[in-house]
Each structure stands twice: as C-alpha cells, then as structure tokens.
Chain A
Amino acid sequence: MSHPLPLNNQDNQESFVLNLGPQHPATHGVLRVKLTMDGEYIMHAEPVLGYIHRMHEKMGENRTWAQFMPNTGRMDYLSALSFNHGYAALVERAMGIEVPERAEYLRVITVELNRISSHLVWFGAFILDLGGFSPLLYAFDDREHILDLLESVTGSRLTYCYFRFGGLYNDIDENFVDGTREFIKTMRERLPMYHNLVTKNIILIKRLKDIGPIPKETIRKYGATGPVARGSGVDYDIRRNEPYSIYPEFDFDIPVYTECDSMARYMVRMDEIEQSMRIIEQALDKLPEGPVMAPKVPKILKPPKGDYYQAVESARGSLGMRAVSDGTNKAYRLKLRSPTFSNLSLFSEVSEGMLLPDALALMGSLDLVIPEIDR
C-alpha cells in the first residue's frame, strides 16, 4: 500500500528520522538505513553502508593471485563458491589455463549445491522477517545436509576455498554422489511441503503480493541482476546469456516472473532450487572420470599485461570480476562487482511512499548479504 497523500519532503513538520539498524535482525547483518518517516510511511530511505568494509580489493593488490583465493570465500558467506568460481575463471582466462572436464562438472555441482543452500537460508530468514518463525528451522535442517556434503569435499562449511586455478583442491568420494542424490530426493519431498505451508499461506500472500513493485526499467537503470531482475520479467541469467564453465551442456530453465512484486522474487528463488537440482542430477549422471587438476599449472602465476573480465551468476545475481595485470605475480588492480550492491541501490527509489513493514518485505526480497555489499 502506498502513501495516500502526496509526500512533501521539505515542509512536512510531522516527519521524523528513524534509524533501521545497523544492528537490526531484518537487515541481515550490519546495514543501517536512515529513514525519514511520515507516521508509518517512508518519505525517504537512505542505506548507509560500510560497516563491514574490509577493502578486499586492496588485499587483492597486496598478495599473489593464489593467495587471494581464500578472500573470495569471505565476501558472500552464503554462496562463497560462486566467488571462488568467478575468481578462478578470471585467472584461468588471463593465464589461458584449461580446466579438466571432471573438475568443471564438480564445480557446477558444488556451486549449484551452494546456490540451493543460499536460497534456503534466504527462505528461512525472509519468512522470519515477515514474522513466521518455524520455516527457518525447516530450511536450516535441509541446508545442514548441503553443508555436510560440501564439508566432506571442501573441508569447510561456509567460507569455502575449494577451487584452484586449473581445477579443484580435492576430488569427491563415493559418499558425496550418494549423499547428493539422497539430498535431492529429500528436498523434492520437502519443497511441496514448503509451498503448502508457506507459499499458499494467506498471510504470506497478503504480505508479498503487489508489495514493492520494481519496474523493469528501474531494474535496468540501476543494473540490478539475479532473482531481483528475474522477478521483474527480465530474462537474464549469466549461466545462459553469457555461458561459462559447462553450463551449456545442461538442460535447465530460468524462472522468470513478470509481476515485479516481492512475491515474484520469492517465487523465482523457490523455482531456482528445483532448477539447480536438475542441473546437479544431470551433472552427476554425466560425471566423467579423470583428473580434477590441470597438469601443468605454473606455481608462480604471471598473467600477461592487460585487463580481464569474468562474470558468473551467483545466488544473488551477476558477479563480475575485473583484473588488471601488469605481468607480475600480483594483481595491479582487482575490481569486485558484487550483485547486491547494485540490487540494494534501487531500494531508496522503490521504498519511497511505502509502509515500513512493506519496505522490510521488499528489503528481504532483495536477499541482502552485507559483507558482499561492503567487501
């Protein structure tokens, strides 16, 4: 519901400033939003960033190409493998390293598992924002299976550093394949339950339907990507539009909803869980034998002079990395383009005139991960 009266930002004596965050459960981390309110309605919202800014880009210039790999797991803590993938693919592009087929398959499998776990955390936390507590417990239960699976191959549960230039740190074991198939079976039984309990819930529908509409043109003007864009009818997914790795070999759909509201963004992510499972199944079926590491990767990497760009689709949208190399063993410049940074930048415009609780539903539907915004 939008504001019934025209807003007058200058002369309104009734307005007051409300601080949302930086320590607020609905902002999923330390994000502060400075709100100018007229009663329950937002006149102006200004996100204040930088509370967990760590200057990863400078660290990229101060350590060797390989030493930066652990950093990539520490930005988007919910889909760290996408950052691993983007960075590995960037350096492989610069160095012209070929990745063995088995490694590419395992990359896709683990990244898609990570995407599902990211969407599950978002699902639980989003419903929690809206006042429903128990779905979080179910979502974390399912996510636990993924974390166990990924821990067995990567060695860590959250801040993965699994990819190497030219392959992977570790091959999988037999338990991983069986465990993943078992997880997909369980998840397929759970998803209808989620839809019955949550998606069809009248309270959720009332909180999300027609709330926070983001027009397609706004998406483009702000460079929003990922499920946020696909909920506004933008059929754009790097995995298909700018294929990398071995995604072209798989048959999967890109869920697109044209309603533009928070419900559409919710549905995109719920559908993506199923699509990721389809990709994983196909990859497990076709998984070739062979090494997981390219045979001749130099110990000291010195990419030729020049700049290189690599985009991958993280759970939150188009993740871009730009490296400028001066031919030495360290990056001259490493730019990280995080998707949520652009996605959040439209919040100020879209939230104007909204009720505060609706704006929180909108914010939740953007799927924010603050360390990834702040870098």
Chain B
Amino acid sequence: MDFSKLKERLTALALIEEVPAAPPAAPAKGEEEQPAAEPAAPVSRPAANDINYPARGFHFEVKVAADSVVAAATILDEEGFFLEAVTGVDWIKEKELEVVYDFTIWQPTCRVVVRTRLNREAPEVPTISEVCPGANWHERETHDFFGIKFSGHPDLTPLLLPEDADFHPLLKDFQV
C-alpha cells in the first residue's frame, strides 16, 4: 500500500514554513534559479516531510496549527491509523509548548507524527478524543505533565498525578 494520498491530505493541512533555500550545489527542483550570486531567499513550503526512518524511527511528520489537529486525526483515522501516544515538549526558550501525536498503522509499517506548537502562557488545543477514544487518557496525562488544556475533553482531572495536583512536573521551570 502506498501512503501518497494520505501524505497529500496531511500536507494540505500543514503550516507553511520558511526554510533556507537549497544550497547552490543542488538547485531546487521547480524553483526559478536566479543567476545572481546573492544568497537565495528562504523558500516557503508546507511543513510536511518524509523522514529518514532508519535514523529517526518514523516515516512522516507534519506540523499543523492547533485548530487543525482534529482534522489531521480524522484523516489518519479514516486511513486506518491508530493513535500510539500523545505527549508534549516544553520549548521554554521559544516560549512554546509542542504537542506531539504519534500515529501508526498495523500494516504496512508507517509511523506518522503530527506536531503542533502552542503559546506557553495559555496552551490550549482541541481534544481528539472524539475521533480516537484512546486519546482520552493520553491527553489527560499530557495535561497532568504540561498543563496543556485540551478543550472539549470530557474529563481533565489528574490521571497519574495526585487528585489535588496543581503543578506540571515536565515543564522546564518546574523545580524538582
């Protein structure tokens, strides 16, 4: 089975990011190369990439806006994927919290990572537990650890932390 249709659909959801233009030795395909010697301007393109599986352990990643995660999860669900985990990463220097969704499929092997970045001061992202009921606990856990609010989630009470916990231990400014 070929995942090109899935990748196409996810790419349509992806954020547009600016990446440095390809080094001059390898002219970028389809781009009009200017003969001028001045450094090439950054190229805007969708933030969806094939990943070198042996080196990284997953096949495809896509960066989406927070309000597109439900659409991304729906696409993956329709294609027969299932949710492996939801987690966060605290990028404190950039004042952002990243939410990482790991999807995979029974056969053939294809691991897809959906990422979204949230404002660290008011992290909020729609829940995908309507699409994948398994996300319920994973999102609760992520809420425990990072304080990310999953709007529309049926029950965000602490899952692994004590029931009265008001701290989020995986934030980088949490003192052990």
Contact = CB atoms under 8 A, between A and B. Distances in A.
Is B one of A's binding partners?
Answer: yes
Interface residues of A, number: 42
Contacts of B21: none
A309 B109 contact: no
A223 B162 contact: no
B118 to A, nearest CB: 15
Interface string A129-162: 0000000000000000000000000000000000
Interface in A210-257: 220-224, 234-236, 241-242
Contacts of B138: 341-342
B82 A220 contact: yes
Interface of A: 49-50, 53, 55, 57-58, 61-62, 90, 93, 96, 220-224, 234-236, 241-242, 306-311, 318, 320, 322, 324, 332-333, 335, 337, 341-342, 345-346, 349, 374-375
Among all A-B residue pairs, the 10 with the closest Cβ atoms:
A309-B57, A222-B134, A337-B85, A50-B160, A223-B134, A236-B106, A53-B160, A335-B87, A220-B82, A242-B109
Q: Quick one: which of B57, B89, B159 has the most chain A CB within 10 A?
A: B57
A30 to B, nearest CB: 12
Given A223-B83, A235-B107, A375 B102 contact: no
Given A223-B82, A345-B134, A345-B137, A311 B170 contact: no
Contacts, number: 101
Contacts of B55: 93, 96, 308
A45 to B, nearest CB: 14
B6 interface: no
Chain B interface category by residue count: 35 or more
A349 B133 contact: yes
Nearest to A241: B109
B100 to A, nearest CB: 7
B176 A241 contact: no
B68 interface: no
Contacts of A236: 106-107
B56 interface: yes
B43 interface: no
Contact of B100 (A49, A220, A311, A322): A322
Given A93-B57, A236-B107, A375 B160 contact: yes
A306 B145 CA distance: 21
Contacts of A324: 89
Interface in B95-117: 100, 102, 104, 106-109, 111, 113
Nearest to B174: A58
Nearest to A337: B85
Contacts of A90: 57
A132 to B, nearest CB: 32
Contacts of A49: 159-160
Contacts of A374: 160
Contacts of A322: 85, 87, 100, 102
Contacts of B169: 55, 58
Interface in B130-150: 132-134, 136-138, 145
